[in-house]
A and B are shown apart, each in its own frame.
Chain A
Amino acid sequence: MTWEPVIGCEIHVHLKTQTKMFCRCATGFGAPENSSTCPVCLAHPGVLPVPNERAIEWTIKLGLALGCDIAPRAVFHRKNYFYPDNPKGYQISQYDEPLCMSGSFLLPGVGGDTEIGIVRAHLEEDAAKNVHMGGGEGRIHGADRTLVDFNRAGMPLVEIVTQPHLRSSEQTKRFLQLLRQTVRELGISDAEMQEGSMRFDVNVSVRPEGSDELRTRTELKNINSFNFAAQGIEREIQRQIAIYEGGGEVVQETLHFVPGQEHAAPLRSKEEAQDYRYLPEPDLVPIEPPAEMVEQARAELGELPSARIRRLETELDFGLAEGLVTSGRDGLYERTPGDRRAVANVVMNELAAAGLDPTEVNGEELGKLVEARDRIPREAFMKALGASGDGDFKAEDYLGEAVIADESELDPVIERILAANDENVAAYRAGKQGLLGFFVGQVMKETGGKADPKVVNTRLRELLDRS
């Protein structure tokens, strides 16, 4: 039997507002622990939350980019649970009246677009950070105490929930990459997985190909890398197929993905009974997004990355277009004149390998460099490329210096060197071919390293073999 994976995602994104969701403590990565706290985010008795207007605007903007309907009326709810990451005993979140609903995200692919349904996008506050001590490497298991840092408590967090419309680990990875780029371009989050400002949970099930049933799914939690997501999903797909083919049943569970480990370990639940007893947050009034706020956000959207992939695909192949857009390199590509494929390759490969920030590169100058790429020595090209991120970079400084490829200029130098080294010339002609390197070195020395080694090699051979 052929099996079809059925995959859905929940994505959490930290908004890069200046302050937290319900108090005006500063947000920021890497502040000393518990230095960004106040009575509200520490949940002292009697305090009241005040929502962050910008977080609401940005959630609406994200909702529009995901093709969602913006709710005429949205409500915050309390999600009740006890855990040391949650000082109030509840998290303020959204439940049945979220800000954004029923969206559709276009995922371009080689064979056309796929519509990934978006169930909802809602706004909530993040939990505090727990550090489990004494059990080895911060693991929960075996810990003898837990340390709590409330800097993260109350940071604005958007949760995006997709329909189970994804059909492979590779497609899921591409979806997550494009979603990340979309969020970054909206300017609402850094979506840095290393810093935890973007993380995702993935639901996986499989079914016989052609069927439309939804079988028991398992959830992979807290993934913070695209490759881990793809690996974890693939492993889970294979595990479930093996269970069904062995006549077994998949058990619904939450798995914590550990890179390199053969199987994802079941995660200890925060609340054995998942009974969150949602209730409308009595300390907050409803949000009725004003039309001006929604229209302002819509006006700021610009051309979305999925549309840009489709546009660039008309001048490149799909893989290059997608790679440029999801890596945020398409802006430089579009600023750089010249042969489209050559420019794309340099921007995508060599420039990336040189570790340059594409936003700092002058496209006009890079274009001159790309144009000269096949005429100048590889080392000279790479040297110039490495400098292309400098503010005052001028391609001609490097092109002028880089090459003497002109034979009429090189021949007199070569002849002079051959005349001054007649013993070596005789030895070479007698069969010591290894001496070619010596002559090349002499020419490079004479020209201050500016001679094109390819031309020097060719001319040396020709002149030496002419005898």
Chain B
Amino acid sequence: MAITRAEVLHVARLARLALTEEEIARFQEQLSAILEAVGKVDELDLSGVEPTAHPLELSNVWGADEPRPSIDVEEALANAPDREGSYFRVPPA
């Protein structure tokens, strides 16, 4: 398979996911299948082709440095799982 068990665990760790043994095996299979499918591109001769980061033929899209109103603090905190005063509160980092 294109993806090793160790690579699955590494990616899971980076994404802060705890996986069961069954999931590790399943994701190893699925991720490998995805990589193999994308690997089809390697069959083409791409020597003269620039990497594409973006499908649009656009550049220099930006906005002027002029402030617009922010949202209200209460609105900002409305979906917070926990708060302390006007701070978001999260488990110790």
Contacts and interface: CB of A to CB of B under 8 A. Distances in A.
Contact of B60 (A17, A148, A280, A288): A288
Given A277-B14, A285-B58, A38 B87 contact: no
Interface string A21-46: 00011100000111111110010000
B65 A146 contact: no
Contact of B59 (A82, A144, A286): A286
A148 B88 contact: yes
B59 A288 contact: yes
B56 interface: yes
B2 to A, nearest CB: 17
A162 B73 CA distance: 40
Interface in B8-47: 10, 13-16
A55 B60 CA distance: 13
A290 B61 CA distance: 12
B1 interface: no
Interface of A is mostly: loop
Contact of A37 (B64, B76, B85): B76
A34 B88 contact: yes
Contacts of B66: 18-19, 24
14 contacts: A32-B86, A34-B76, A35-B86, A37-B73, A52-B62, A56-B62, A82-B16, A135-B92, A145-B84, A146-B89, A147-B84, A285-B60, A287-B62, A288-B59
Given A24-B63, A54-B65, 14 more contacts: A19-B66, A25-B68, A34-B76, A35-B70, A52-B65, A75-B53, A131-B87, A132-B92, A132-B93, A135-B92, A145-B91, A148-B88, A286-B53, A286-B59
Contacts of B91: 145-146
User: Which of A33, A73, A134, A149 has the most C-beta atoms of chain B within 10 angstroms of its own C-beta?
Assistant: A33
A145 B62 CA distance: 38
A130 interface: yes
B interface SS class: loop
A188 to B, nearest CB: 12
B93 A33 contact: no
A422 interface: no
B62 to A, nearest CB: 4
Contacts of A42: 76
Contacts of B60: 285, 287-288, 290
Contact of B65 (A19, A143, A150, A282): A19
A51 B60 CA distance: 9
Contact of B87 (A34, A55, A73): A34
Contact of B54 (A54, A282, A290): A282
A140 interface: yes
Interface in B61-84: 61-68, 70-71, 73, 76-77, 84
Contacts of A134: 92
A144 B67 contact: no
B26 to A, nearest CB: 22
